[in-house]
A and B are shown apart, each in its own frame.
Chain A
């Protein structure tokens, strides 16, 4: 029974980690590529670690809780590194498919004009709206 649970966790973890890495290949600009490793990988490594904790706890040498620490550190550090990478990319003005908000570019140039409170123009492509899965939040 435990073996089935462990195999399930390990396979899920491996699949999710693989999909997260696949994102690096499939996405088209730097900022989009950041999304794969920060998210899909967190749960992937998380379930591998749960499997590890269960396995070593079941081998009657006492419960093994190192893995919780690894998970906690991973959850704390992954967003920080992603944030710094994004910041560096913005600093270098890397090409991006996403539009900058109008206000931000204004502030970057030093003309802090809050009266320019214009909305970012909507993306023009509306043809494929229905096929794209919306995020469920």
Chain B
């Protein structure tokens, strides 16, 4: 089972992706999508040595919802900052100590940080323990770190790593 279907999550995702791309759900396309979803993970196995495990699907759904709301908020926040006086902004670099260890979780965290209000993740340190974050307008680095940890890092840790 594990050898025939190495990535149980990737396969249905690829099948859905195929159906969206061809924009139809005729039985033939569904079959082709499933076939692709089965073949591609097998052929690209060497790029994905570890299977992704989602420990808490509900938390993942809630996280995606939270992220969508934050993306919308981020747009308006940054739009307001752009239209305001750029001279008043206080940009700052903040170093975020990471508790996450898995590659996928770290990259998802970095993506979330970039998509949410006023912050862009800039660099991951060599030892993967710190993420350098550029904040557009922030005076209190500790509060920013605490917010990111509480809002994004903890759910990701629950979803992809040990609880």
Contact = CB atoms under 8 A, between A and B. Distances in A.
B91 A136 contact: no
Contacts, number: 166
A5 interface: no
B122 A31 contact: yes
Contact of A135 (B113, B123, B137): B137
Interface of A: 16, 19-20, 22-23, 26-29, 31-32, 34-36, 38-40, 42-44, 62, 64-66, 68-69, 75-76, 78-80, 82-83, 86-87, 89-90, 96-101, 103-104, 107, 119-120, 122-123, 125, 128-129, 131-137
Contact of B120 (A40, A44, A82): A82
A134 B135 CA distance: 12
Given A35-B78, A83-B110, A100 B93 contact: yes
Nearest to B82: A23
Interface of B: 17, 20-21, 23-24, 70-75, 77-95, 110-111, 113-118, 120-123, 125, 130, 132, 134-139, 141-142, 147, 151
A35 B138 CA distance: 13
